[in-house]
Amino acid sequence: MADAHTSKDNSTLFTSLGRLAPQLKPIIWPLIWGLLSALAASVVALVVPQVYRVLVNTALQPGNGTKGLWTGAAVVLGLGILEAGLIALRRQFVIVPATTVETRMRTSFYRHLQSLAVEFHDRWGSGQLLSRAMSDLNFMRRWMAFGAIMLVVTTLTVVIGVSLMFSMSWQLGLIFLAAAVPIAIFGFRFRLSYGRVSRKSQDQAGDLATAVEESVHGIRVLKAFGRGPEALDSFAGQAQELQATEIHKAKSLAVFSLVVTLLPELALGSGLVDGILLVSAGKLDVGALVAFFATAAVVAGPVESMGPLMAMTLTAKTAIDRHFEVMDAVNTVTDPASPVALDSARGELEFRGVHFRYPDTPAATRDVLDGINLTLRAGETMALVGVTGCGKSTLLSLVPRLFDVTAGTLMLDGVDVRQLTLSALRTHVAVAFEDTTLFSNSVRDNVLLGAAEQPGLSPEDVLEQALEVAQASFAYTLPQGVDTLIGEEGLSLSGGQRQRIALARAIAARPAVLVLDDPLSALDVNTEERVTERLRSVLESTTTLIVAHRPSTVSLADRVALLQDGRITAVGTHSELLAANSHYRYVLASLTEEPRDLDSHLETGLGEELAEELGAGKEAGA
């Protein structure tokens, strides 16, 4: 289990439930009406034995007419209808408001998650988040609409029932009440232990969901290595842990139920003997004794349900805790209080003494980015070169503020990017990542996702242009053309195809600053060459920061920056660096180790036609 969501058990039941209060405020009246209906239904159920009492003592005595009986039966019938009506009414009052609150909490949970920084999402598995968005909130709604109300009603029913029993015979009532003391003590202990297991089980369920998510997203790897059985074993292990927790939870509830039902019943048993003795001594009439036990029978149900309701309340507490744990997470990348307006950016990008370290890095390690100084002139294309894992992608993710610098400043047109609203910044900056994420949508919608309005061009033109530049015109040959559904829910594309769509998306955005993270890695040589050629003309007026692993990509750039040990150690043109910098040569030059015999046969002229044909082959195939 990730450390991110280990339980904090220091919140008490009431503070946790209290956090729901603001949510409940708008629906407080329906809830109260619902409560009153439920209460009334219970009172009605309690009144019925009183009618029996009167009947036994009057109408059913020998020699009386049938009129009393008719009236009695009618009253019982009326009360019965009333009870059913009130039960229906409770639901009517409560259901819609409760589901509305649930939905509101669910959507604000989602919004909050979307706003939380990438750093948060790196720590939390989506399965764990999902279990909070779905099962926890479902549970909370059910507790709100049923558990909470029934708990109040049940408690009140027991109190009223016991008072009635007192009114019939205080001696018997006292015996019954004596059972309550040990129950209260035991209930306190139960609350602590049950709360703990219920938290554990919900966390484990969330982790299990994460395991399922990974097993599906990583299915190719699992299949390629034939590790299905191992994945199954580890999943089964996790599922068994959850099973053990659940059984432990059930046991603890069973013991509590045992105590809660046994003690009152024991009290009733002694009450029965005592009651009969009292009646025979003439201190109590038969009707009262009968009514006492009839009332006890009505109270028995609620008493029995105290255990499960208590358990439900504790589980709801856990659900609420888990919900607010995420809601309380502070968004570390936020809009400034008074943003600077930057209507049209020229695209000058400056890193000034930029430092960055991931929040959970141990103190001793040096920063990933350790004082970056780099300026991109407006419209310039800068390639970023460095060995695998030296922080290139990290550097790029600072530009659209997926992460914030930990020291120094990053400026767009002389304005600190933290001074701009996120939406303004991300309008000016478009990104294509090395992991291409396409959404379940048509090709068109994916490409035009962040597309800017361009005067004189219809969206269709923008789409066509972007696809053309990215050499992604294969999209037109898909089954439904550019309306073909792609992404998770749709047609699966090859790595190269995905990459080109993602590139087209970045291009269509027509940003002032374009950030490309090795955007051509999955393309074959010919396609790459054509993309490069077209990109060069498009990038002329766009400031571009592009991560490059190959000379071919570097050739796009006006200048190259070399990232080494968290700093920019050299900036210059490709040939300058190639001549002057040995690390640069190490990173980018590859020809030195080539076997000689290949060279000797190398043809100088390039079969243009042939290459064209090869590249433009059946791209939509696989």
Partner 1 sequence: MSTTTGTANEDRVELSKADSKAVRQRSVRLLRTLLRPVRRRFIITVVLVVLSQAAKVSGPLLIAYGIDSALPAVRSGGNLLPLLVTGGGYLLAAVASSWLTATYLTATARLSQAMLLDLRIQVFRHTQRLSLEFHETYTSGRIISRQTSDLEALRELLDSGIADLASGIIFMVLTAVSIFSLDWITGLLVLAAAVPMYFLSRWYQRRSQAAYRSSRVVSARLIVHFIETMTGIRAVKAYRREKDNAATYDELAEDYRRVTVRSINLNGIFQPGLVLIGNVAVAVVLLVGGFRVLDHGLAVGALLALLLATKRFFQPISQMAMFYNSFQSAQAALEKVSGLLEEVPTVLPPRTPVPLPRAQGHIRFAGVEFGYGSGPAVLPRLDLDIPAGQTVAVVGATGAGKSTLAKLIARFYDVTAGSLTLDGVELRQLSIADLRRAVVMVTQEAFLFSGTVAENIALGNPAASRAEIEAAAREVGADGFIRALPDGYDTDVNKRGGRVSAGQRQLISFARAFLANPAVLILDEATSSLDIPSERMVQDGLHQLLGGGSGPGGAPGRTALIIAHRLSTVAIADRVLVVHDGRIVEDGSPAELISGGGRFAALHGAWRDSLV
CA gap 356, 370 in Å, rounded: 7
Query: In which order are the strands placed within the sheet that holds 407-412?
Result: 369-376, 349-356, 407-412, 415-416
| 236 forms part of the interface with partner 1 (CB under 8 A) | yes
* 13, 36, 47, 60: residue in contact with partner 1 (rule CB under 8 A): 60
Of 437, 573, 421, 415, residue with least CA distance to 505: 437
* x/- track of binding to partner 1 for residues 189-228 (CB under 8 A): ----------------x--xxx-xxxxxxxxxxxxxxxxx
| 29 forms part of the interface with partner 1 (CB under 8 A) | no
Encoded tokens for 9: 């058990």
Of 466, 470, 428, residue with least CA distance to 448: 466
Beta-carbon contacts of residue 533 (< 8 Å; ≥ 6 apart): none
604 SS3 class: coil
537-566 residues in contact with partner 1 (CB under 8 A) are 549-552
Long-range CB contacts (< 8 A, 24+ apart) of 236-245? 238/204, 238/207, 238/208, 238/211, 239/208, 241/204, 242/201, 242/204, 242/205, 242/208, 245/197, 245/200, 245/201, 245/204
Which residue stretch of 21-29, 47-55, 339-347, 409-417 sits at the interface with partner 1 (rule: CB under 8 A)?
A: 47-55
Which residue stretch of 53-61, 169-177, 410-418, 559-567 sits at the interface with partner 1 (rule: CB under 8 A)?
A: 53-61
* 140, 290, 546, 560: residue in contact with partner 1 (rule CB under 8 A): 290
Residue (11 or 288) nearer to partner 1, CB: 288
**Which DSSP category does 366 fall into?**
P
| 154 forms part of the interface with partner 1 (CB under 8 A) | no
Minimum CB separation from partner 1 for residue 348, in Å?
20
247-286 residues in contact with partner 1 (CB under 8 A) are 247, 249-251, 253-255, 257-258, 261-262, 265-266, 268-270, 272-273, 276-277, 279-280, 286
* Cα 125 to chain centroid, rounded: 9
Residue (15 or 240) nearer to partner 1, CB: 240
CA gap 112, 335 in Å, rounded: 14
Which residue stretch of 10-18, 81-89, 320-328, 557-565 sits at the interface with partner 1 (rule: CB under 8 A)?
A: 81-89
* 164, 303, 431, 482: residue in contact with partner 1 (rule CB under 8 A): 431
Tokens 């029934």 — which residue?
150
- 501-528 burial, b at 16+ Cβ within 10 Å, e below that, comes to bbbbbbbbbbbbbbbbbbbbbbbeebbb
Residue (11 or 101) nearer to partner 1, CB: 101
96-125 residues in contact with partner 1 (CB under 8 A) are 96, 99-100, 102-103, 106-107, 110-111, 113-115, 118, 121-125
Residue (21 or 281) nearer to partner 1, CB: 281
Tokens 């090709």 — which residue?
443
| 327 forms part of the interface with partner 1 (CB under 8 A) | no
| 462 forms part of the interface with partner 1 (CB under 8 A) | no
Of 295, 51, 45, residue with least CA distance to 60: 51
Minimum CB separation from partner 1 for residue 15, in Å?
27
Beta-carbon contacts of residue 5 (< 8 Å; ≥ 6 apart): 124, 128, 203, 206, 322, 325
513-542 residues in contact with partner 1 (CB under 8 A) are 518, 521-529
* 6, 15, 58, 92: residue in contact with partner 1 (rule CB under 8 A): 92
Spatial contact of 93 and 68, defined as CB atoms under 8 Å apart: no
113 SS3 class: helix
Q: How many CB atoms lie within 10 A of CB 321?
A: 22
* 30, 34, 72, 147: residue in contact with partner 1 (rule CB under 8 A): 72
| 468 forms part of the interface with partner 1 (CB under 8 A) | no
* x/- track of binding to partner 1 for residues 124-153 (CB under 8 A): xxxx-xxx-xxx--x---------------
Pairing of strands 349-356, 407-412: antiparallel
* 79, 412, 504, 514: residue in contact with partner 1 (rule CB under 8 A): 79
φ, ψ (nearest 5 deg) of residue 621: -55, -75
Residue (227 or 355) nearer to partner 1, CB: 227
CA gap 457, 231 in Å, rounded: 51
Residue (9 or 230) nearer to partner 1, CB: 230
Residue type, 332: T
| 181 forms part of the interface with partner 1 (CB under 8 A) | no
Beta-carbon contacts of residue 60 (< 8 Å; ≥ 6 apart): 69
Residue (92 or 163) nearer to partner 1, CB: 92
342-401 residues in contact with partner 1 (CB under 8 A) are 358, 360-362, 365, 386-389, 392-393, 397, 400
Minimum CB separation from partner 1 for residue 316, in Å?
15
CA gap 584, 408 in Å, rounded: 26
Minimum CB separation from partner 1 for residue 591, in Å?
6
* x/- track of binding to partner 1 for residues 470-489 (CB under 8 A): ----x------------xxx
CA of 401: how far to CAs of 353, 414, 416, 543, in Å? 16, 16, 11, 17
| 178 forms part of the interface with partner 1 (CB under 8 A) | no
* 158, 289, 320, 395: residue in contact with partner 1 (rule CB under 8 A): 289
Number of residues located near partner 1, criterion CB under 8 A: 197
| 34 forms part of the interface with partner 1 (CB under 8 A) | no
